Amino acid sequence: MKNDRHIPWILLEDEYYTAGELKRLVGRVSSKYHNIAIIDTCKRFREYWRRSPNADLIITDESLADGPVTGVLEDLEVKTPVIVVTSNEERRPQDFSGKDSQHPSSPGRVISHE
């Protein structure tokens, strides 16, 4: 039997055009991904997550208009898988274990798109 369950995900992005492009690209990966929120500030994400921590995936810019996202994710003890995106090579975040994202044992790897 096929699993037709949708995968709810949240996008944290403060640039309107980029948010639209990321949402479109995720939709091209699979129609099972269902965007449940696009949030543009750390403050709004904190409020949202405290009310409704129900996403199976979070895709986020490394920094929103009111600050870096990684600290917020750690403060809220988010256990949901997170994909951090950035176009700034010098501002690549480290993963939550403190290892460089390029480290082979790191849970996430940075993929450059040029």
Residue 74: inside a domain? yes
70 belongs to a structural domain = yes
Residue 92 contacts residue 85 (beta carbons within 8 Å): no
pLDDT, position 96: 44
State the CATH number of the domain containing residue 61: 3.40.50.2300
**What is the C-alpha separation between 2 and 59, in angstroms, rounded?**
26
Domain that holds residue 66: 7-87
108 contacts: CB under 8 Å, gap ≥ 6:
82, 83, 84, 95, 101
Mean pLDDT of 62-71: 91
On whether residue 101 sits in a domain, the answer given is no
Is residue 97 domain-resident? no
Q: Looking at residue 92, what is its pLDDT?
A: 57
Q: With 0.95 as the threshold, say if the pTM is over it.
A: no
75 found inside a domain: yes
The total of structural domains in the chain comes to 1
Query: Tens of pLDDT along 29-54?
Result: 989 999 999 999 999 999 999 998 88
For residue 110, pLDDT over 70 is answered with no
On whether residue 23 sits in a domain, the answer given is yes
Q: Is residue 16 part of a domain?
A: yes
Closest to 42 (Cα-Cα) out of 9, 76, 16: 76
